Structure 1
Amino acid sequence: MEEILANLERTKCELDRGQVESFIQCLLRAKRVFALGAGRSGLVARAFAMRIMHLGLNVYVVGETITPSLQPEDVLVAVSGSGETDLVVGAASIAKRAGAKIAAVTSFPDSRLGRLADVVVVLPGRAKTETISEYVERELAGEHASLAPLGTL
C-alpha cells in the first residue's frame, strides 16, 4: 500500500500543470468527448469517462453499441502508457482525419500517439515501451510492471 501511495504522490508532483490545464480546456471546448484505451488503459479510460459524465460532459466510450461517429467539434481522449498500442493509435488517426481533436494520456510524448495528439498529458513512470507480444507475454505470466497510474491497481 505504501508503495502505491508513494507512486501516486510522485506522479502527482511530476505532472505538468500546463498540460493538465490544456487537457481540461480541450475537454470543455468539445461538443462531445470520446474515451479509448486498451487493456488496463481501457479501464482507466472507462473510469475517466464515467467521472466526466458525472461532471456534466457529454461522453462516450469508443466501442460501445451506442457510440456515435466522431465529428470535427469532438475530442478523443486516447489513453496508452506506451503511446504505441495499435488499436489506440489507429483510432486516433481516424479521429484526426475526421477533424476531431486528440487528447492523449501517455508516458511517451514522442510516441506515435503523442505525435498525433493536439494535447498530451505525460504521466511519468514507464521506463520503456513494449511490443504487443511483450505485453501479452507479461500478462499471461502474471508479471506486472507498475502499481499505478497507467498500470492501475
Structure 2
Amino acid sequence: MKNNVTGKVISINISDKKGIIKQPIEVGVFEEDFGLKEDAHGGKWHRQVSLLAQESIDKMTNLGVEGLIPGKFAENITTEGMVLYTLPVGTLLKIGETIQEVTQIGKECHSGCAIKQAVGKCIMPKEGIFTKVIKGGKVKAGDTIEVIE
C-alpha cells in the first residue's frame, strides 16, 4: 500500500496524566527532545509524541463505537491523509513548525484501556505511531505533515 507523503493535522490533544483521554487544544508547543509541552507523555525517551490517523478512528466508529473524537485514544496528534503505521521507524516528518522522527509503530495496550473495554479492541496498538521531537515549534489543526526525504 503506497503512502501519501503529505497529510494534515486534525487536532492537537493534551493531558496532564497518563492513561486518560486527552483534550483538544488550539496550538501545541512541541519542545526539542521532550514532546508536547505540559503533556504527561513528554520527556527524554523515544515515545514523546503519539499520532493516530482519523482514518483509524473511523474504522472503530464503523465497528459501532460511538462518541469517538480526537484525543479519545490519548493521541497527541490526530492526522488525516497518511497511513501512519506504514512509515518506517526513522522516517522524518515535518509537522507544522516541528521536525519529528518516527521511533515506534504501535504499542502494547495496557489492560485498563477504556476503549478496549468498551469495544473489545483498541486501534492504537496496531495503527498508532510514536515520534521524538528533533526540532521544536508550534503545531495546530490544519498544519501539513510531510515526509522529509
Task: Normalising by structure 1, report the TM-score.
Answer: 0.25
Structure number with the bigger relative contact order (C-alpha 8 A, sep ≥ 6) is 2
Normalised TM-score (structure 2): 0.25
Bigger fraction of residues in helix: 1
Task: Tell me which protein shows more strand as a share of its residues.
Answer: 2
Bigger Rg, which one: 1
